[in-house]
Amino acid sequence: MIKIKLKIISHLIYKTGFGERDLELPQPVTIEELLTKINLENKIPMVIIRNGKVVDLKEQVQDGDRIVISPFFFGG
């Protein structure tokens, strides 16, 4: 069992149904697998930040991680 903190940003929260949540997972997963679990299809361009660093979809989620998922931003 691993525990992570998950933060969803901007309009992606209307797809996941939540903005911030503590999540328990039976085993470590990749970011890609995590996205499927929270109903975020990989069609929309997204930025994944794991513990403050941008990572790709193959990155493994570890116990205690803080994962932030946001759409792309281009600065108004």
Partner 1 sequence: MEGWTGNYLRVNLTKQDVKRQKYSEEFAKKWIGGKGFVTKILWDELKPGIDPLGPENKLVIALGPISGVIAPNTGKVQVGAKSPLTGGLGDGNIGSRVAIQLKKAGYDFLIIEGKAVKPLSIYIIDDEVMFFSAEEIWGKGTYDTLNWLYDKYSRNVGILTIGQAGENKVLYSIIRSMEGRAGGRPGIGAVMGSKNLKAIVVKGTKEIAIANPEGLKKIGIEGLRKERELDKEVGWSIQGTTGILSWLNEVAALPVKNMRKTFHENAWKIDGQRVSEARVATYGCPNCSMHCGIAILDKEKKLAEVDYENIGMLGSNLEIFDLPQVASLNYLCDDYGLDTISAGGVLAFYADAIEQGAIQGSFKFGEPEKAKELLKKIAYQEDEGKLLALGTKRMAKQIANKSEAYAMQIKGLEISAYNCKFVPGMALAFSTSSIGAHHKEAWIILYELTKTIRESYGKDKAEEVIRLQRIRMGLFETIIACRLPWVEVQLNKDYHIQCFNNATGLNYNMHDFEKVSDRIYSLYRAFWVRENPNWDRNWDYPPEIWFDPKNADKKGIIIGKVLEKEKYEQLLDYYYEIRKWDSRGIPKKQSMKELDLEEEMIELEKYTSLK
Residue ranges in contact with partner 1 by CB under 8 A: 7, 9-11, 13-15, 19, 44, 47, 49, 51-54, 68, 70-76
Residue 30 vs 70, nearer CB to partner 1: 70
Residue 27 vs 43, nearer CB to partner 1: 43
Its sign, for the CA torsion 19, 20, 24, 29, is positive
Distances (CA, A) of 72 to 8, 24, 27: 12, 27, 29
Residue 24 vs 41, nearer CB to partner 1: 41
Task: Output the six-digit token pair for 74.
Answer: 């281009």
